[in-house]
Amino acid sequence: MTLKELNADVTNIRAWRGGVDEKMDGICTRLDHVEANVKEQGKLLQSLDRLAMGLSRLDEKMGDLSCKLDNFGGRISLIELKPATKWEQAKWLILTVLITAGLTVLITKLIG
């Protein structure tokens, strides 16, 4: 090989290396972006995990609240029934008094 051919090959190799260097710079830039995206996705996954745990706790609390509401509903039903029970007892007492009074008047007229 002659010196001219060697110089031409070296020039070609330098040009080729310049292209490789540019491609490497582009690849490194893309890799940096990928790493940043992966870190961001990791943070999002952690946030989602915390959110899922919070929802789990919220579901637990809602279950407790539902049980308490059912308990209160039962107690309110009993409280609502108390006046009805009192009126039922009063109705029977009045009916008993009226029947007793009627029978007393009837017996008094039959005897007297």
d(CA 23, CA 28): 9
Q: Which domain holds residue 45?
A: 1-80
SS3 for 1?
A: coil
**Structural domain total, the chain:** 1
66, amino acid identity: S
Cβ-count burial 48-76 (b if 16+ within 10 Å, e if not):
eeeeeeeeeeeeeeeeeeeeeeeeeeeee
d(CA 86, CA 19): 99
Distances (CA, A) of 54 to 22, 47, 50, 57, 63: 48, 10, 6, 5, 14
User: What is the percent of the chain where pLDDT is above 70?
Assistant: 100
Report whether pLDDT(53) > 90.
yes
Report whether pLDDT(50) > 80.
yes
Q: Is residue 54 part of a domain?
A: yes
Q: Give the pLDDT score at 36.
A: 96
Q: Is residue 109 part of a domain?
A: no
Q: Is residue 70 part of a domain?
A: yes
**What average pLDDT score do residues 64-77 get?**
88
* Distance, CA of 105 to chain centre: 72
Higher pLDDT, 76 or 36: 36
pTM of the model: 0.47
Q: Is residue 7 part of a domain?
A: yes
Q: Is residue 95 part of a domain?
A: no
Helix (H) or strand (E) holding 2: none
Q: Give the pLDDT score at 20.
A: 87
Q: Is residue 36 part of a domain?
A: yes
Reading the block at residue 81, the tokens are 């029934």
Report whether pLDDT(11) > 90.
no
Q: Is residue 40 part of a domain?
A: yes
Q: Is residue 18 part of a domain?
A: yes
52, amino acid identity: A
